[in-house]
Amino acid sequence: MAFDIDKQYDKIYRYCYLRVHHRETAEDITQETFLRYLERPQYHNIDKTLHLLYTIAGNLCADHFRMKDFCEIPEETSSDENTEERVLSEYSLSQALERLSSEDREIILLRYINEVPINVIGRLYNMSRFSVNRRIKKILEILHKELGKEEAL
Amino acid sequence: MKKSDKDALKSAFNIPEPQQKNAFVASYKEKLKKNNSAAVLPVILRYGAVAAMAAVAIGIWSASALSRKPQYDYNGGSVVSDTTTDTAETTAVTEISEKTEASSTETNVTTAVTTVSAESTETTTSVQTTPVTVVTETMTNTTTTTVTTDMNSTTQTTTSTTPTITTVSTTVSTSVTITVTTTTTTETEPPGSFYNDFTVTPAVTYEKTEDAFDLRDLNAGEVPGTQTPLPGNPNGEIPEEVVKMAQMSEYIIYASVDEILYTDIGGAPYTQENLIVYSSYKGGLGFMDKISLYLPGGYLPAEKYIEYIGYDLLLPDNCTTIYDNGGNNGEQNVGDLFVFFINTSGKAFPEGSFVLTQTTDISVFKLDNGYYHSLGNSELFFSEDMLNFLY
């Protein structure tokens, strides 16, 4: 399957960064993910490409944590914080996201940032499409509640 | 979810932009190109294998289809459908010669029509085939085989004929291209002649020698095979003996002796006469048909004859060949014309040959002063007019 490496690179990178919270490590894992994908031409079809990429990336992230003995990696901060309003808004949302479980954050990132189809997310987390939909709906409700609290404060 | 919400969410994740993306994407695309070009070879091999299998299948089908073709249409004449070849070595080249059938037949027709005195025609046909065809595997050794085939058949047609002897020389190489060379020697009759050549090739032939010992000298006064004189009836009706002979005969022909060969049948001396038919009074033989007739007697090496009879003979010291007249009284030479009362031969004789109805030359009549006289019994004769009412 010929996919757009420019787009998929960003998406896999985000997914990896969300897990490892380290830019260089996330990029290393992202690149390793694509190289390993290239070595498995038998899976290069439209249905399995995304699933395979995220599975490889997820496994590599897990391997990374095992190698580091769960060492805490310092979280990098984004330098894209210019306006006060935007900083406040993103801060509120970031805070809300921080309160989510890691898996919920991954699902939200996959679905709304990386635009991964529901069925692929379901295969990645061993859930049905309906379960994924319900899970996403629930996460969004939590986020809204958290944001409402922030606004109320 | 709105795009603005997605952007806000994306910002909220605080994910920094990757810095090594461009370099990696470029190298990844290079690797992808190499992988794709490397994958071309298996694809080529796969489709090449399919094409090769198709070629093999077509080759096998063509070989089987060609081998099912009928016999030669000799010089544009009637198809000799029951042609038999009595030599075993011709089997090996039958398939190849049939492959060249189309071209060689076409050449023969041209020669027969346009060249009256044409003696030989050489045709080279190249047949291209794959190295794995059945034909190629069969002919693994480079061989040159020369086969002389005299076409003979029991088929009877009324088509006019021209005698032909075909020599087929086949050369097969193991290369991808099989070259088949066919040399055809044709003895042509006047243009427009068509014929059926039903002659056969004897298994062995013996030479006629001037100093051959005549076995009749051993039994002076008692000539073997001499028949009791039968009364002729030149002025009356057809002799009853001739009528019976005609009834017993499948064929009554007026033919010339074209060739005389001396051979043996089961050790006994026999003479093969190749006849050219000029008139046919009974049976299906036609004008210019060529047949082989077997008569008892002939020339045989002395030791062969002694071996055949099973006891020694008092032969002259320098005797190497004996002559046995086989009970025949008359003399037949090349170019002579006779009326023959004949039948198809039995199993002991080459298939497609003929024998005299009454074994000896009693069944052979020679025209003399308007009457046909039996060679075996000069008293047995009938008029030329009677010949048309024999059957």
The CA angle A140-A143-A149, to the nearest 5 degrees, is: 145
Contact map slice: A 72-91 vs B, CB within 8 A: 76-80, 86, 89-90
Cα(A117)–Cα(A100) distance, integer angstroms: 21
Q: With an 8 Å Cβ cutoff, are B11 and A86 in contact?
A: yes
Query: pLDDT-derived band of residue B340, with 50, 70 and 90 as boundaries?
Result: very high
The mean pLDDT of chain A is 79
Most confident of A40-49, B134-143, B204-213: B204-213
Instruction: With CB atoms and an 8 Å threshold, state whether A77 touches B14.
Output: yes
Distance CA B104, CA B100 (A): 6
What pLDDT score was predicted for residue B241? Answer: 85
* Nearest Cβ partner for A94 among B5, B6, B14: B14
Q: Is A9 on the interface with B (CB under 8 A)?
A: yes
Quote the mean pLDDT of chain B. Answer: 68
pLDDT of residue A51 exceeding 50, the answer is: yes
CB contact, 8 Å: A40 with chain B?
no
pLDDT computed for residue B219 by the predictor:
62
Q: A102 in contact with B at a CB cutoff of 8 Å?
A: no
Task: List Cα–Cα distances, B257 to A89, B266, B291, B333, B339, in angstroms.
Answer: 126, 24, 10, 7, 11
**What would the mean pLDDT of B307-333 be, rounded to a whole number?**
83
B305: pLDDT confidence band, cut at 50, 70 and 90? Answer: confident
Least Cα separation, residue A97 to chain B (angstroms): 8
Exposed (0-12), middle (13-18) or buried (19+): which is B343, by Cβ within 10 Å?
A: middle
Range name among A124-133, A140-149, B201-210 with the lowest pLDDT average:
A140-149
Sort out which chain A residues have CB atoms less than 8 A from B29's CB and list them. 5
Which residue of chain A is at minimal alpha-carbon distance from B14? Answer: A78
* N- to C-terminal Cα separation, chain B: 113
pLDDT bracket for residue B174 (50, 70, 90): very low
Highest mean pLDDT among A79-83, B61-65, B116-120, B185-189: B61-65
Give me the interface pTM, i.e. the ipTM.
0.72
- The model's pTM: 0.38
The pair of three-digit structure tokens given for residue A38, joined into one six-digit string? 């290239």
Residue B312 in this model has a pLDDT that exceeds 50? yes
Q: How confident is the model at residue B341 (pLDDT cuts 50, 70, 90)?
A: very high
User: Quick one: pLDDT at residue B274?
Assistant: 94
Of residues A13, A35, A38, nearest to B18 (C-beta): A13
- Pairwise CA distance, residues B84 & B345, whole Å: 15
Q: How do residues A83-120 score in pLDDT, each as one tens digit?
A: 455 555 666 788 888 888 888 988 988 888 888 888 88
Local confidence band at B96 (pLDDT 50, 70, 90 cut-offs): very low
pLDDT on residue B355: 93
Model confidence pLDDT, tens digit, residues B30-65: 888 777 766 666 667 778 888 888 888 888 887 766
pLDDT tens-digit series, residues B351-369: 899 999 988 899 999 988 8
Q: CA A23, CA A33: separation in Å to the nearest integer?
A: 15
> Does residue B93 have a pLDDT over 60?
no
Name B321's Cβ contacts closer than 8 Å, sequence gap at least 6.
B206, B207, B209, B211, B212, B213, B299, B300, B301, B302
Contact B31 A38 (CB under 8 A): yes
pLDDT for B228-241, tens place per residue? 444 455 556 778 88
* Interface test with chain A among B11, B19, B31, by most A beta carbons within 10 Å: B11
Give B-chain residues touching A77 at CB under 8 angstroms.
14
- Give percent of chain B above pLDDT 90: 14
What is the dihedral angle through the alpha carbons of A44, A49, A55, A56, rounded to the nearest 10 degrees? 50
